[in-house]
Amino acid sequence: MATKFLALACIRGNESRGHLSPRPHYPSMPKYPKGVSAEEKNVQGSEAKAMFSVMGMTCSACAGSVEKAIKRLPGIREAVVDVLNNRAQVLYFPSFVNEETIRETIEDVGFQATLIQDEMNERSSQVCRIRINGMTCTSCSTTVESALQAIQGVQKAQVALATEEAEVHYDPKILSYNQLLETIEHTGFEAVLISTGEDRSKIHLKIEGFRTDNSMRMIGNSLQALPGVQEIDMDPSVNKFSLSYKPDVTGPRNFIKVIESTGSGRFKAMIFPEEGGRDSHRKEEIRQYYRSFLWSLIFTIPVFLTSMVFMYIPGIKHGLDTKVVNMLSIGEILRWVLSTPVQFIIGRRFYTGSYKALRHGSANMDVLIALGTNAAYFYSVYSVLRAATSQDFKGTDFFETSSMLISFILLGKYLEVLAKGKTSEAIAKLMDLAPETATLLTLDNNGNVIREEEIDSRLIEKNDVIKIIPGAKVASDGFVIWGQSHVNESMITGEARPVAKRKGDTVIGGTVNENGVLHVKATRVGSESALSQIVRLVESAQMAKAPVQKFADRISKYFVPLVIILSFSTWLAWFLAGKFHGYPKSWIPSSMDSFQLALQFGISVMVIACPCALGLATPTAVMVGTGVGASQGILIKGGQALESAHKVNCIVFDKTGTLTVGKPVVVNTRLLKNMVLQEFYELIAATEVNSEHPLAKAIVEYAKKFREDGENPAWPEARDFVSITGHGVKAIVRSKEIIVGNKSLMLDQNIAIPIDVEDMLAETEEMAQTGILVSIDGELTGVLAISDPLKPGAQDVISLLKSMKVRSIMVTGDNWGTANSIAKEVGIETVIAEAKPEQKAEKVKDLQASGHIVAMVGDGINDSPALVAADVGMAIGAGTDIAIEAADIVLMKSNLEDVITAIDLSRKTFSRIRLNYIWALGYNLLGIPIAAGALFPSTGFRLPPWIAGAAMAASSLSVVLCSLLLKYYKRPKMLDTLEIRGITVE
Q: How far apart are CA 179 and CA 781, in angstroms?
A: 75
N-to-C CA span, the chain: 44
Strand partners, 928: none
The sheet with strand 48-55 has its strands ordered as 76-82, 87-92, 48-55, 112-116
Q: Name every residue whose Cβ is closer than 8 Å to that of residue 226 and which is 6 or more positions away in sequence.
A: 250, 254, 255, 258
Is residue 468 within 8 A of residue 500, CB to CB? The reply is no
- The alpha-helical segments, DSSP class H, found in 528-588 are 530-543, 549-579
Q: How far apart are CA 209 and CA 223, in angstroms?
A: 17
CA angle 166, 172, 177 (to 5 degrees): 40
Q: What is the DSSP string of 263-279?
A: TTT--EEEEPPP--THH
Which DSSP helix (H) or strand (E) runs through 288?
helix 278-304
CA torsion 584-586-591-595 (nearest 10°) is 0
Q: What is the identity of the amino acid at 349?
A: R
Q: How far apart are CA 775 and CA 761, in angstroms?
A: 15
For residue 123, CA distances in Å to 13, 17, 247, 362 come to: 10, 10, 19, 36
Choose, from 366, 464, 654, 796, the residue flagged as catalytic: 654
Is residue 692 within 8 A of residue 704, CB to CB? The reply is no
Q: What is the DSSP string of 95-142?
A: TT--HHHHHHHHHHHT-EEEEETTTTTS---EEEEEEEE---SHHHHH
Query: SS in 3 state form for 325-339?
Result: ECCEEHHHHHHHHHH
Q: What is the DSSP string of 199-266?
A: SSEEEEEEEES--SHHHHHHHHHHHHTSTTEEEEEEEGGGTEEEEEE-TTT--HHHHHHHHHHHTTT-
Instruction: Return the closest-CA partner of residue 932 out of 600, 640, 670.
Output: 600
| Residue 82 annotated as catalytic | no
- The alpha-helical segments, DSSP class H, found in 632-741 are 638-645, 677-688, 694-703
CA angle 768, 772, 777 (to 5 degrees): 165
Instruction: Return the closest-CA partner of residue 980 out of 276, 497, 343, 435.
Output: 497
Is residue 55 within 8 A of residue 34, CB to CB? The reply is no
Query: SS in 3 state form for 652-668?
Result: EEEHHHHHECCCCEEEE
Q: How far apart are CA 321 and CA 396, in angstroms?
A: 12
Q: How far apart are CA 892 and CA 874, in angstroms?
A: 10
Q: How far apart are CA 360 and CA 362, in angstroms?
A: 6
Is residue 794 within 8 A of residue 826, CB to CB? The reply is yes
For 740, the 3-state DSSP assignment is: strand
Q: What is the DSSP string of 58-100?
A: -SHHHHHHHHHHHHHSTTEEEEEEETTTTEEEEEE-TTT--HH
**Residue 35 class from Cβ within 10 Å (0-12 exposed, 13-18 middle, 19+ buried)?**
exposed
Burial 637-671 (b: 16+ CB within 10 A, else e): bbbbbbbbbbebebbbbbbbbbbbbbebebbeeee
- Tell me the helix, strand and coil percentages in the chain, rounded to 5: 50, 20, 30
Active-site residues: which are they?
Answer: 654
